[in-house]
Amino acid sequence: MDERNQEKDLVPRQESIFQSVSKIISSLKDEWEYSGEITPETSLFTDLDFESIDAVVLGSMIEEHFNRSFPFAEYLASVGEKEVRDIKVKDLVNFIHQNLENQTLEN
């Protein structure tokens, strides 16, 4: 196995990232009226009634969990440019996975 594949193996799989993100969201959702299950299709702003401050808190908790910084400001800005201004959990998981992979390859 070459060095690049070994580094990729250090990045958590998307399912593992989803489980972590889901737990973080669940720890926050006591403040909301959402009682459904958090799935990859759950929308942060539509389903969970996130406010922008909630997204900031979630981002901080994700950074703390993974012990690294993510470009959340740029990510949220790109979401704001879309026709549908919402984030599905699966999109957040993809963003985290891609950034973890990129950071691992850069080191």
Instruction: Please tell me which residue, 35 or 57, carries the higher pLDDT value.
Output: 57
Instruction: Please tell me which residue, 61 or 35, carries the higher pLDDT value.
Output: 61
- In the prediction, which pLDDT does 103 show? 77
Which of the given ranges, 2-6, 49-53, 103-107, has the highest pLDDT on average? 49-53
pTM of the predicted model, to two decimals? 0.83
What is the tally of structural domains in the chain?
1
Q: Per-residue pLDDT for 7 more than 50?
A: no
Using an 8 Å Cβ cutoff, are 103 and 68 in contact? yes
Find the domain containing 10 and state its range.
Answer: 3-106
- Report the range of poorest mean pLDDT among 4-8, 65-69, 82-86: 4-8
Alpha carbon distance 27, 23 (integer Å): 6
Q: What's the CATH code of the domain at 80?
A: 1.10.1200
Region 55-59: mean pLDDT is 92
